[in-house]
Amino acid sequence: MEMVVDARGLGCPLPVLRVKAVLEKRPEEVHVRVDSGAARENVSRLGQSMGYSVDIEVLTGGEWLIRLRRKDYLST
């Protein structure tokens, strides 16, 4: 199951707190949209520390899409 978190416009630590609440439910995949470099880095680190692979796509307008996928689902 894929979940989406829109963290654009939120100052730290809110993006991390919102994503952490979602990751604690252990979804297979989470897509996170952010618009600050600090949020991008912090959310990526959080995902890695919780057992997720991280893929970052640069979007237009200074935004990023962070794809977090549970490592135990990568082989499926």
Listing DSSP states for 19-65 in one string gives HHHHHTT--SEEEEEE-SHHHHHHHHHHHHHTTEEEEEEE-TTS-EE
Among 24, 20, 19, 16, CA closest to 5: 19
52-58 and 29-34 strand pairing = unpaired
Q: What is the pTM of this model?
A: 0.92
pLDDT above 90: residue 16:
yes
> Where do the structural domains in the chain lie, given as residue ranges?
2-73
Q: What is the pLDDT of residues 31-72, one digit of tens each?
A: 999 999 999 999 999 999 999 999 999 999 999 999 999 998
Report the half-sphere exposure of 73 (CA within 13 A, side-chain side).
Answer: 14
CATH number corresponding to 2-73 = 3.30.110.40
Residue 76 is predicted with a pLDDT of 52
Q: pLDDT-derived band of residue 21, with 50, 70 and 90 as boundaries? A: very high
